[in-house]
Amino acid sequence: MSTPLSDYSLDRRRFLTTLLAGSAVLALGGLTGTRTARAAAGPFTLPPLPYPDNALSPAISAQTIGFHYGKHHQGYVNKLNELVAGTPLADQSLEAVIKATAGKPDQTVIFNNAAQIWNHTFYWNSLRPKGGGKPTGALAAAIDKSFGGFEAFKAEFAKTAASQFGSGWAWLVKDGDGMVISKTGNADTPIAHGQKPLLTIDVWEHAYYLDYQNRRADYIAAVLDNLINWDFAAQNLAA
């Protein structure tokens, strides 16, 4: 159940009010139908959502998906197209744009929008309806080897995600023959550092605030218990 807004600070109330104010512009069909790739005025497009907007409910509501995917993710695509128009970056892949702009102060805005497109696409695929539970096969064995068991992994992953100060991401990353759990701030992404991510949880406030307000730990627990896509992680490990 949502905690009353009166329990939170004025800044939190303003944040939520701002998000809710835009709800009238969302198409009603978009809250239940499967999302498809949206055309954009440029080389980059919004990748399809792998499931209908309401498929992750109640852990993540259709309203949150409507804003998160339909507004935030789309906004990064629109902005990147605007930024790269007429430049050599417009002819490169998203991954190439990220690697070409990472760590360059004069390219920070381009990097942020490109990385956020990639991160969000990876996040949507890290989730699935009726997910969660425990991994199996080679992935389970690798987790046991790296963390001493699934429960130890789960506790460390949840702690890492909850402790990210401000906006960012928690990642399970392949590291040599093993795995590590890491976190990145804002738009930073493992692929900018030559790492191979296996799955992620988005801990920006727009990922959970409509459903959980400031209860980030509850959102993380709900994702781990009900939505994590272990098949996707296993595929990334094997690739």
Question: Residue 72 annotated as binding?
Answer: no
Please tell me the total number of residues recorded for the chain in this structure: 239
Residue ranges of E strands in the chain = 168-175, 178-185, 196-202
- Tokens representing 44 are 């980059």
> Cα dist. 34→20, 45, 76 in Å?
22, 16, 20
Taking the C-alpha atoms of residue 142 and residue 177, their distance in angstroms, rounded to an integer, is 8
3-state class of 81 per DSSP?
helix
* 49-77 per-residue burial string, b: 16 or more CB within 10 A, e: under 16: bbebbbbbeebbbbbbbbbbbbeebbebb
β-strand pairing of 196-202 with 178-185: unpaired
206 is in an annotated binding site: yes
Q: Binding residue per annotation — 193?
A: no
| Angle, CA of 169, 173 and 176, to the nearest 5° | 155
Q: How far is CA 225 from CA 45, 78, 113, 221, in A?
A: 31, 33, 30, 6
Is 68 among the annotated ligand-binding positions?
Answer: yes
Say what the alpha-carbon torsion angle 119, 123, 124, 129 is, to the nearest 10 degrees. 180
Q: Which residues sit in the known binding site for Mn(2+)?
A: 68, 120, 202, 206
Q: Which residues sit in the known binding site?
A: 68, 120, 202, 206
